[in-house]
């Protein structure tokens, strides 16, 4: 009996000692959290780190842990939660503050490639002529500036002249600088911006930092221009803690694979097709419609190999089947923009035999629709089902053409087997399709 009481007393002493140390540590946690909220100095941060390390070591040391298995004496969980809470808040505070107490400034790389935003009047009309440093002089009055910008003139093109090789050049530039910057802004012409955004989404996978494309409908030097707003909004979004490729235009954020230019002159030039906008800038912060998930791996995957031997064919009433005989020897893949839900003509000028022959020969044939909204559904009508019966035909679902083109180039550049190509093309990447 006396022995049992003595054992119980020892358990209580051990448990109480453990609780006292935990209470001491918890007090220190709250104290340093309060200090973090008020100010941060290098000296306090060093002292804090030493004391917290010692206390955490003592807590983890087994001789301070209760030997009793009685449930009400096992009180580690609340303190562990407190520690995790403190750690999370502390990281959030320190993300925004340097050790010397100054506000942390995100470092952004602005990669200029030309476009209307940087254009000036030339002999034959507007042509890119402003450097990124010159662009920056137009946004010096950004009152919410929380970033430092480095500048790089990578290209200086009208986006009409943007080629797939330039996509690879931009992707490699981002990859080479990924560790040195918190985010990237790419100024680009609007006409082919959507193609470039989609291409970068495939070439740069598992991005943990934002890569933002923007431009304008009117040159930045004009009085009535959208360039200044778009550039400032893009720089702000490049400071967000998200990863991936995005288009920022007219205060809206669009996933890189979902952007399509819909208007040639209006400031709201781009729309997000078949997918909601990511976020909207209200002048102070971004309001998210959906939050891009964090990548499961932090290892950036860079694959810039492309096969540009593809052809985009828009069907029209009266198209001749013989066109496919000419395409057979020139291209590795064909994207067919068909009618409605994906129907292909099968009467009079019957296109099906030629299409099936190419698909059976190993050519990548993608069926999409000329309709921007809602995508294709080859299962709905006979004119669609007949083409979908071929197991080598690639379905595009609700992808837009601006994403299909670079995705097919990218896929053909990585692999040869038609069934593998079909599987990858029909697999969602960077939010490009919903099956």
Give me the active site residues, please. 116
Contacts of 372 (CB under 8 A, 6+ apart): 260, 262, 273, 400
Spatial contact of 8 and 14, defined as CB atoms under 8 Å apart:
no
- What distances in angstroms separate CA 395 from CA 80, 334, 352, 408, 425, one per listed residue? 50, 12, 15, 12, 8
CA distances from 317 to 347, 350, 425 (A): 11, 11, 28
For residue 33 the two structure tokens come to: 């959290």
Tokens 């402003």 belong to which residue?
A: 130
Contact by Cβ (8 Å): 107, 177: no
C-alpha span between 431 and 292 (Å, rounded): 10
Q: Could you report how far apart the first and last alpha carbons of the chain are, in Å?
A: 71
Which residue reads 């959208």 in tokens?
A: 226
Nearest to 418 by CA among 389, 392, 391, 388: 392
Report which of 317, 308, 361, 301 is spatially closest to residue 335, judged by C-alpha positions. Answer: 308
d(CA 133, CA 306) in angstroms, rounded, equals 32
């Amino acid at each position: 009996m006396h022995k049992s009481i003595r054992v119980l007393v020892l358990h209580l002493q051990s448990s109480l000692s453990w609780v006292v140390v935990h209470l001491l540590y918890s007090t220190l946690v709250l104290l340093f959290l309060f200090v973090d909220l008020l100010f941060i100095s290098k000296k306090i941060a060093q002292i804090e780190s030493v004391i917290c390390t010692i206390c955490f070591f003592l807590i983890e040391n087994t001789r301070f842990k209760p030997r009793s298995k009685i449930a009400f004496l096992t009180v580690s969980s609340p303190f562990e939660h407190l520690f995790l809470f403190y750690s999370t808040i502390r990281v959030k505070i320190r993300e925004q503050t340097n050790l010397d107490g100054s506000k942390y400034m995100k470092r952004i790389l602005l990669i200029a490639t030309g476009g209307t935003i940087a254009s000036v009047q030339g002999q034959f009309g507007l042509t890119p002529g402003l450097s990124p440093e010159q662009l920056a002089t137009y946004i010096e009055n950004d009152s919410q500036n929380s970033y430092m910008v480095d500048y790089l003139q990578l290209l200086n093109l009208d986006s009409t002249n943007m080629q797939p090789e330039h996509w690879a050049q931009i992707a490699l530039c981002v990859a080479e600088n990924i560790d040195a910057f918190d985010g990237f802004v790419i100024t680009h012409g609007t006409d082919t911006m959507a193609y470039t955004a989609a291409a970068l989404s495939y070439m740069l996978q598992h991005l943990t930092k934002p890569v933002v494309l923007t431009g304008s409908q009117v040159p930045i030097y004009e009085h009535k221009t959208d360039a200044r707003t778009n550039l400032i909004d893009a720089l702000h979004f490049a400071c967000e803690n998200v990863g991936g490729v995005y288009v920022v235009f007219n205060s809206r954020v669009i996933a890189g694979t979902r952007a399509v230019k819909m208007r040639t002159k209006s400031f709201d030039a781009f729309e997000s097709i078949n997918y909601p906008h990511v976020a909207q800038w209200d002048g102070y912060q971004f309001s998210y419609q959906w939050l891009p998930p964090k990548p499961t791996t932090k290892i950036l995957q860079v694959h810039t190999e492309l096969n540009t031997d593809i052809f985009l064919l828009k069907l029209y009433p009266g198209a001749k089947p013989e066109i496919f005989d000419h395409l057979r020897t020139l291209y590795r893949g064909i994207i067919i923009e068909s009618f409605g839900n994906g129907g292909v003509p099968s009467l009079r000028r019957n296109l099906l035999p030629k299409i099936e022959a190419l698909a059976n020969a190993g050519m990548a044939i993608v069926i999409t629709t000329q309709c921007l909204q809602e995508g294709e559904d080859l299962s709905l009508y006979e004119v669609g089902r007949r083409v979908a019966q071929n197991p080598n035909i690639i379905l595009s679902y609700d992808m837009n053409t601006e994403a299909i083109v670079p995705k097919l180039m990218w896929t053909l550049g990585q692999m040869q087997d038609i069934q593998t190509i079909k599987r990858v093309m029909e697999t969602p990447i960077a939010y490009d399709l919903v099956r």
